[in-house]
Amino acid sequence: MTTATREPYELGPMPLGRPMEIVDERLVRAPWRTIFDIARRVELWPAYLPHYRHVRFRSRASDGGGLVEMSAYRPFGFIGWPTWWLSEMSVDEGAPAIRFRHVDGITKGMDVEWTFRTAPGAAGTHVKILHVWDGPRIPLIGIPAATMVIGPVFIHGIASRTLEGLGHTAEQDASPRRARVAAGADNAR
């Protein structure tokens, strides 16, 4: 890992209309800033998420993104299937959104976008993760593999757990009692 900071990756808008599109979404009962800050600190994900093996920045960018290596297990009962990928990551606080483009691993070429929208009635934040991909470059079976196995079984299997775990962490951070404890106004028991 290098300590120098690079310019942010320019990943552009999501390339919609690809053969594989996987959407995971959840209402997180926390302000957008809370869940956004937890989601953007990918190097801390293994502390919150038991299915993550490791997350390491190979280089950092000035927007908080960079080149990031990630590895997680896709649980199947008591057995976990190990996965690995390398992504360019960009962070847009103004949107707010987090973008990834997989540049190595079986999912090379996949684009991912996390978006955060305040839910109506200020009930929390609607978080959406969109994965789009043309599939692995394997003639005849690449697209079917992506749309029938890799996307629904592996991508959704990992992303849904990631969103659930980070959402739960944000909700705990946003809870009124926890805020009072952090401010010293309540005795922890």
> Which residues make Cβ contacts (< 8 Å) with residue 46, sequence separation at least 6?
52, 53, 54, 55
At 85-138, the pLDDT tens digits run 999 999 999 999 999 999 999 999 999 999 999 998 768 999 999 999 999 999
187 part of a folded domain: no
Tell me: pLDDT of 180 over 80: no
Number of domains in the chain: 1
**Which region holds residue 151: left if phi is over 0, alpha if psi is between -120 and 50, else beta?**
alpha
189 part of a folded domain: no
Q: What is the CATH number of the domain that holds 174?
A: 3.30.530.20
Q: What pLDDT score was predicted for residue 177?
A: 46
Cα distances from 74 to residues 136, 144, 158, in angstroms, run: 18, 20, 6
**Single-letter amino acid code for the residue at 15:** P
135 part of a folded domain: yes
80 part of a folded domain: yes
Percent of the chain with pLDDT over 90: 82
At 67-87, the pLDDT tens digits run 999 999 998 888 889 999 999
Q: What pLDDT score was predicted for residue 2?
A: 52
71 part of a folded domain: yes
Structural domain that includes position 97: 5-182
For residues 101 and 90, give the distance between their C-alpha atoms in angstroms, rounded to a whole number.
Answer: 9
For residues 116 and 145, give the distance between their C-alpha atoms in angstroms, rounded to a whole number.
Answer: 30
